[in-house]
A and B are shown apart, each in its own frame.
Chain A
Amino acid sequence: MSEHIIKAMRANEMIIRKSEGSKPSTPAGGLLSRTGEKTTSNINTTDNIASYVKQIRAARNTHA
């Protein structure tokens, strides 16, 4: 299972690297979205996960 988690992390890293220039944004939709529709079923999961990771890293760097 650890290998699968590492694979998921690598895939996530690639998504983050693609959007490296952009600032961390809130998820496009879903329960944790601040701007989008919370009840929408049209959620881009991979982008949202990358968005969460970017937000957590940004917060960590800010408060470090």
Chain B
Amino acid sequence: MPDASSKFLDAPIPGQSLTTEPKSRPWEQPPKYATTEAALAFYIPRLSNAELMAPMVDVMEEGTTVVAVAEMIQSSGVMNGLHTIDVGLLISPVLVELLITQAEMSDIEFKVGTEKSDTPDPSMVRKAVDTASEEYFDTSVEVGEEEVVEEAPEVLPEGLMARREV
């Protein structure tokens, strides 16, 4: 059974998008900035402003990865109808670079989010375990390697109630 930390609990309930008037949400409207250049012209001055960036730097100092902060910035842009998801993803490398610059200028320790971790990928571990258990519980006999079973000598029943041979 999935636990409370599962990602599926964050997903919208089926039909949730139909619970409001159509086109009443900002992201259902045409975006304010249609191109990557226009979106970056909006973001670059804001992400270069040290005062505006102070809360973001605090968040990165506390251990949130730069990629996660960039994701938050671009998804809030999508939610506010500034740009589309596509444009948000295209400009994300630039947002990450700007955030790294701010973090380095603030002289803090931060994680980008692309570092290789020492813990293996859980999906790969599961796959390896499945493969190993399949081999372990494999009951099929390979062709040409049939085991020769020695037949045990037939023991004739003895006693009063034993069936007699005719």
The answer to whether A9 and B94 touch across the interface, beta carbons within 8 angstroms, is: no
Number of interface residues of A (CB under 8 A): 24
The answer to whether A32 and B40 touch across the interface, beta carbons within 8 angstroms, is: yes
The answer to whether B67 and A8 touch across the interface, beta carbons within 8 angstroms, is: no
Candidates A30, A43, A53; contact of B93 at CB < 8 Å: A53
List A residues 38-64 near B (Cβ within 8 Å).
43, 45, 48-49, 52-53, 56-57, 59-60, 64
Looking at chain B's contact residues, the main secondary structure is helix
The answer to whether B37 and A43 touch across the interface, beta carbons within 8 angstroms, is: yes
Verify if A4 is at the interface (C-beta below 8 Å from B). Answer: yes
The answer to whether B36 and A48 touch across the interface, beta carbons within 8 angstroms, is: yes
Known: A56-B101, A57-B97, A60-B104. A5 touches B92 (CB 8 A): yes
Verify if A2 is at the interface (C-beta below 8 Å from B). Answer: yes
Verify if B114 is at the interface (C-beta below 8 Å from A). Answer: yes
Candidates A1, A30, A56, A60; contact of B71 at CB < 8 Å: A1
Candidates B37, B74, B89; contact of A48 at CB < 8 Å: B37
Chain B residue nearest to A46 in the complex (CB): B90
The answer to whether B93 and A8 touch across the interface, beta carbons within 8 angstroms, is: yes
Verify if A25 is at the interface (C-beta below 8 Å from B). Answer: no
List B residues 77-131 near A (Cβ within 8 Å).
89-94, 96-98, 100-101, 104, 113-114
B-side interface residues toward A, CB under 8 Å? Answer: 35-38, 40-41, 44, 65, 67-68, 70-71, 74-75, 89-94, 96-98, 100-101, 104, 113-114
A-side interface residues toward B, CB under 8 Å? Answer: 1-2, 4-6, 8-9, 12, 27, 30-33, 43, 45, 48-49, 52-53, 56-57, 59-60, 64
Chain A to chain B contacts (Cβ below 8 Å), 10 pairs: A4-B89, A4-B92, A5-B67, A5-B71, A5-B74, A5-B92, A12-B93, A43-B35, A43-B36, A64-B104
